[in-house]
Amino acid sequence: MHYLPNILSFLRILLVPIFLWLYFQPDMLIRFLGILVFILAALTDLLDGYIARKKGFQTPFGAFLDPLADKILTFSGFFCLPFIDPELYPWWAVWTIVTRDIVITLLRIYAKKQRVPIYTRASAKWKTFTQMTFLYVALILGATIDSVHPLLMFSGAIMSSWLMYYAMVTVTIITVYSGLEYLVVNRALFYRNHT
């Protein structure tokens, strides 16, 4: 039981290749199954965090593994998008989001090792909310884009309107802003070894 949060984090990582394989299948129902796998993996994040806090099963390794598993899952979703439509979901936006999240995650790990308190702002929560909301919508649209079912033909209309491109740019801007704010608020971390 003590290792359950870490097991769930490992499970989240193991579900990523399954999600990717399912999502790139030609059959729409199988692609939706891939989205369900993605959602299941995301739910393990909520569960392992709850168990770790509730039962006191927090460990240094778990503190490293949990955010790593989160980023692997999130990045896998974003990396799918340019393969759906590289014009709506340009690679530069994906790499900007990924780079920001990697840098901030590494800084958080460094801060924990230095035992420096981390200060977060509301923009970080907005970043996560907008990223995940956008990602779920984009993945669903991508899975249904070639459907001829009357209830799903809206996917093609939305994709052709460039709405998702502007949504992608907005998410990228919010992500970059939250990263810059994080660096400013926690700037003491950079001067710790020079004082």
Spatial CA neighbour of 40 closest among 50, 52, 28, 32:
32
pLDDT digits (tens, 9 = 90+) for 61-76: 666 777 888 889 999 9
Domains of the chain: 4-194 (1.20.120.1760)
pLDDT in tens, 143-178: 887 666 665 667 777 777 889 999 999 999 999 999
What's the predicted TM-score (pTM) here? 0.85
pLDDT score, position 30: 93
pLDDT score recorded for residue 51: 66
Q: How far apart are CA 158 and CA 7, in angstroms?
A: 39
